[in-house]
């Protein structure tokens, strides 16, 4: 793949005035951010996610404790012994499983303040049997949310008074009782001009908090209580519409993680089980993990997060599935209500959807991931990552990603206020290992269906030279999510649907370099053409040291570079080697030498 070096990256200098929570560059372009001018002119929030919220931007390094009592022969189910190690582990320790192959044919549940750690994905292999799964403690939407929720029904919460607006850091309760330190989800009735939970495939009953109603939700902590006024840890990301309400969350798993191993369901079909299932997790993480071969049934994902806050998924490799039929083989699956997740520096390949939002997600950031060679079950369509596959994710950021195809569909409803900043969106794929390659359809750089509104695309590179698509014959703007390689589309954006405006008229396009124009077709954000290096980072983060900064953009006509995740794939798995995050990139301190922990199962 040819890439051209940036010509004037170093012309960007540091600025003193910036958006709240954003430290942008001098005289650089700022997206509209007037909190009183929603929906069109309130497009950003002060994003902060994952370990940046609670641990200074790095994941904790719990000391390792050896898990003994494991058979490690690949035929004896080591799930119960591994569970015994986890159950007996002290807080703030890592259950360490040394190099070897271990059969897991039962559900293994992680608990708070404990890590499950291997010797590396090329050394510690967990082979799942048909009943194998790694998960966290169970989350109940009846008992872990108050008031509880009945699936698919219009279940009310406690009342808020007044009219909470975007940017507010306090809310006033009209019913219920909240203590300092509590976690709540805030929401309101759905705004019919913005939200629809009935898409082209029907009603999204799992959207929001399993009700299909009040689907724009934000999880936030209460830091102080003064009378009936609650002070919030984060500002509200959007103005609540009418009938504002809240629920109280209890997270059963906190500050726990999966690290440095490979989990494979390649030898047995796990059906609809996920490989890694994070449910009701507060500040949990996945780091340096490889997952391989999801199950054959709908719901089988590599990593699924339900009702989570502040999780971080990084430095990992999620690839291949037993089936790429509808609902199967999702890479990173953001399901139900989640806020302030950080998904960074991962490889997602041979999925149906590299990542997917289904039923919400606010303040989520996808940063510097490599997503390629996705395919659907019929092999005719260029598979995609999906910012919307169920109402209503909003105020989420995608930055620095290198991705073959990203889509926002209308199958289960609406989404809004996503920001795409300095990504390279190919509208094509490499084709390595893809069955029946190449697919005939799906060659769209920007792919927004109906009801996907107020998206912002700033400083991206759209298209790719020298692959399957012929961008000389491309259409610059239109709508066809199934565009053929002989006539790809740069901006595929649908019209209006009912009371919801069109994607084409609400999207902001500013400074995106495309392979049809061989330049920037639109500067519709104004006359300021200077773009900051990042919307998330005030300076180049450590894992990008040695790389161009910024990686992608219109500068240089254009600036296009592999990110660390793509280089990690190209230097290892692409050459038939193993995935070894310790050598292809490092993030955080080296785990300490282990002590010893018994994995012997007690006889009851």
In sequence order, what DSSP letters do the residues of 341-400 get, joined into one string?
-EEES-EEES-SEEEEEES--BS-EEES-EEE--B-TTS-BB--EEEESSS--EEEEEES
For 472, which DSSP code? Answer: G
Q: pLDDT (tens digit, 9 = 90+) per residue, 545-585? A: 999 999 999 999 999 999 999 999 999 999 999 999 998 87
User: How far, in Å, CA of 154 to CA of 92, rounded?
Assistant: 40
- What pLDDT is stored for residue 336 in this prediction? 96
Take residue 383 and report the two structure tokens written for it: 């598979």
- What pLDDT is stored for residue 585 in this prediction? 76
Residues pairing with 66 in the sheet? 96, 596
| Banded model confidence at residue 33, pLDDT cuts 50, 70, 90 | very high
Q: Is the Cβ–Cβ distance between 400 and 379 less than 8 Å?
A: no
Please state the three-class secondary structure of 388-416 as a single string. ECCCCCEEEEEECCEECCEEECCCCCCEE
User: Does the structure show a pLDDT above 60 at 443?
Assistant: yes
Q: pLDDT (tens digit, 9 = 90+) per residue, 154-207? A: 999 999 999 999 999 999 999 999 999 999 999 999 999 999 999 999 999 989
Q: Is the Cβ–Cβ distance between 94 and 62 less than 8 Å?
A: yes
User: How far, in Å, CA of 499 to CA of 195, rounded?
Assistant: 9
- What pLDDT is stored for residue 359 in this prediction? 87
Q: Is the Cβ–Cβ distance between 107 and 275 less than 8 Å?
A: no
For 20, which DSSP code? Answer: T
Strand, helix or coil at 478? Answer: strand
User: How far, in Å, CA of 586 to CA of 581, rounded?
Assistant: 6
| Top-confidence residue, 1 or 453 | 453
| Length, in residues, of the chain | 604
Residue 467: name the closest of 434, 492, 438, 441 by CA. Answer: 438
Q: What is the mean pLDDT of residues 501-506?
A: 98
Residue 413: name the closest of 215, 120, 268, 172 by CA. Answer: 215
Q: pLDDT (tens digit, 9 = 90+) per residue, 222-237? A: 999 999 999 999 999 9
Q: Is the Cβ–Cβ distance between 304 and 318 less than 8 Å?
A: no
Residue 489: name the closest of 589, 370, 405 by CA. Answer: 405
Q: pLDDT (tens digit, 9 = 90+) per residue, 65-110? A: 999 999 999 999 999 999 999 999 999 999 999 999 999 999 999 9
What is the domain partition of the chain in residue ranges?
A: 145-249
Residues pairing with 203 in the sheet? 198
Q: pLDDT (tens digit, 9 = 90+) per residue, 249-277? A: 999 999 999 999 999 999 999 999 999 99
End-to-end CA gap in the chain: 60
| Banded model confidence at residue 586, pLDDT cuts 50, 70, 90 | low
Q: pLDDT (tens digit, 9 = 90+) per residue, 369-407? A: 999 999 999 899 999 999 999 999 999 999 999 999 999
Q: Residues of 355-369 as b/e, b for ≥16 C-beta within 10 angstroms? A: bbbbbbbbbbbbbbb
| Banded model confidence at residue 456, pLDDT cuts 50, 70, 90 | very high
User: Does the structure show a pLDDT above 50 at 7?
Assistant: no
| Banded model confidence at residue 596, pLDDT cuts 50, 70, 90 | very low
Mean pLDDT comparison of 328-332, 589-593, 598-602, highest-scoring range:
328-332
Number of neighbouring beta carbons within 10 Å of residue 165: 15
For 82, which DSSP code? Answer: H
Q: Is the Cβ–Cβ distance between 501 and 495 less than 8 Å?
A: no
CA–chain centroid gap for 110, Å, is: 21
Q: How far is CA 543 from CA 372, 546, 564, in A?
A: 21, 9, 8
User: Does the structure show a pLDDT above 90 at 599?
Assistant: no
Q: Which residues have a Cβ under 8 Å from the Cβ of 496 and sit 6 or more positions away?
A: 450, 502, 505
User: How far, in Å, CA of 50 to CA of 35, rounded?
Assistant: 24
User: How far, in Å, CA of 118 to CA of 594, rounded?
Assistant: 11
For 34, which DSSP code? Answer: -
User: How far, in Å, CA of 391 to CA of 78, rounded?
Assistant: 40
Q: Is the Cβ–Cβ distance between 166 and 176 less than 8 Å?
A: no
Take residue 107 and report the two structure tokens written for it: 């559900």
Number of neighbouring beta carbons within 10 Å of residue 397: 20
Q: Is the Cβ–Cβ distance between 296 and 326 less than 8 Å?
A: no
Q: Is the Cβ–Cβ distance between 535 and 542 less than 8 Å?
A: no
User: Does the structure show a pLDDT above 50 at 592?
Assistant: no
User: How far, in Å, CA of 75 to CA of 445, rounded?
Assistant: 46
Number of neighbouring beta carbons within 10 Å of residue 142: 13
User: How far, in Å, CA of 386 to CA of 527, rounded?
Assistant: 31
User: How far, in Å, CA of 406 to CA of 445, rounded?
Assistant: 7
Q: How far is CA 492 from CA 352, 442, 445, 473, in A?
A: 20, 10, 8, 15
Take residue 47 and report the two structure tokens written for it: 């994003």
User: How far, in Å, CA of 144 to CA of 149, rounded?
Assistant: 10
User: How far, in Å, CA of 178 to CA of 194, rounded?
Assistant: 30
Take residue 544 and report the two structure tokens written for it: 């990008």
């Amino acid at each position: 793949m040819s890439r051209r070096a940036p010509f004037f990256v170093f012309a960007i200098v540091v600025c003193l005035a910036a958006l709240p929570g954003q430290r942008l560059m001098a005289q650089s372009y700022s997206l509209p951010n007037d909190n009183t001018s929603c929906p069109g002119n309130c497009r950003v929030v002060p994003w902060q996610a994952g370990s940046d919220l609670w641990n200074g931007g790095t994941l904790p390094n719990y000391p390792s404790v050896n898990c003994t009592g494991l058979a490690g022969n690949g035929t004896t189910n080591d799930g119960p012994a591994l569970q015994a190690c986890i159950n007996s582990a002290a807080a703030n320790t890592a259950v360490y499983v040394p190099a070897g192959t271990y059969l897991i044919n039962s559900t293994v549940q992680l608990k708070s303040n404990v890590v499950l750690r291997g010797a590396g994905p090329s050394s510690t292999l967990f082979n799942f049997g048909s009943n194998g799964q790694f998960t966290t403690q169970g989350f109940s939407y009846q008992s872990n949310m108050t008031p509880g929720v009945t699936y698919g029904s219009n279940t009310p919460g406690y009342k808020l008074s007044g009219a909470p607006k975007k940017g507010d850091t306090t809310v006033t309760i009209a019913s219920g009782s909240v203590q300092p330190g509590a976690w709540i989800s805030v929401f309101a009735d759905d705004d019919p001009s913005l939200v629809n939970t009935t898409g082209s495939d029907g009603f999204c009953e799992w959207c929001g908090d399993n009700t299909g109603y009040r689907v724009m939700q934000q999880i936030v902590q209460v830091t102080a209580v003064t009378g009936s006024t609650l002070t919030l840890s984060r500002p509200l990301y959007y103005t609540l519409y009418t009938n504002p309400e809240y629920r109280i969350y209890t997270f059963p798993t906190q500050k726990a993680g999966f690290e440095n191993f490979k989990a494979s369901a390649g030898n047995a079909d796990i059906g609809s089980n996920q490989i890694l299932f994070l449910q009701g997790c507060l500040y949990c993480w996945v780091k340096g993990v490889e997952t391989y071969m999801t199950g054959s049934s709908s719901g089988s994902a590599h990593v699924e997060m339900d009702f989570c806050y502040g999780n971080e998924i990084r430095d990992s490799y999620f690839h291949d599935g037993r089936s790429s039929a509808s609902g199967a083989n999702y890479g990173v699956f953001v399901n139900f209500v989640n806020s302030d997740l950080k998904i960074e520096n991962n490889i997602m390949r041979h999925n149906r959807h590299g990542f997917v939002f289904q039923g919400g997600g606010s303040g989520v950031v996808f940063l510097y991931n490599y997503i390629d060679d996705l395919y659907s079950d019929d092999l005719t369509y260029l598979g995609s990552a999906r910012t919307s596959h169920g109402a209503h994710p909003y105020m989420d950021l995608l930055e620095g990603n290198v991705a073959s195809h990203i889509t926002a569909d209308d199958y289960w409803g609406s989404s809004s206020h996503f920001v795409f900043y300095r990504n390279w969106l190919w509208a094509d794929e490499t084709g390595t290992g893809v069955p029946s390659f190449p697919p005939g359809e799906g060659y769209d750089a920007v792919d927004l269906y109906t009801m996907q509104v107020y998206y912002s695309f700033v400083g991206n590179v759209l298209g790719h030279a020298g692959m399957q698509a012929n961008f000389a014959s491309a259409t610059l703007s239109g709508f066809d999510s199934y565009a053929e390689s002989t006539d790809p589309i740069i901006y595929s954006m649908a019209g209006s649907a009912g009371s919801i405006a069109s994607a084409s008229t609400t999207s902001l396009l500013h400074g995106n370099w495309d392979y049809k124009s061989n330049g920037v077709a639109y500067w519709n954000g104004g006359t300021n053409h200077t773009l900051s290096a990042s919307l998330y980072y005030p300076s180049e983060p450590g894992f990008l040291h040695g790389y161009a900064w910024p990686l992608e953009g219109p500068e240089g006509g254009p600036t296009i570079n592999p990110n660390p995740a793509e280089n990690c794939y190209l230097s290892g798995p692409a050459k038939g080697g193993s995935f070894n995050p310790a050598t292809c990139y490092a993030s955080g301190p080296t785990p300490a030498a282990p002590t010893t922990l018994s994995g012997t199962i007690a006889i009851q």
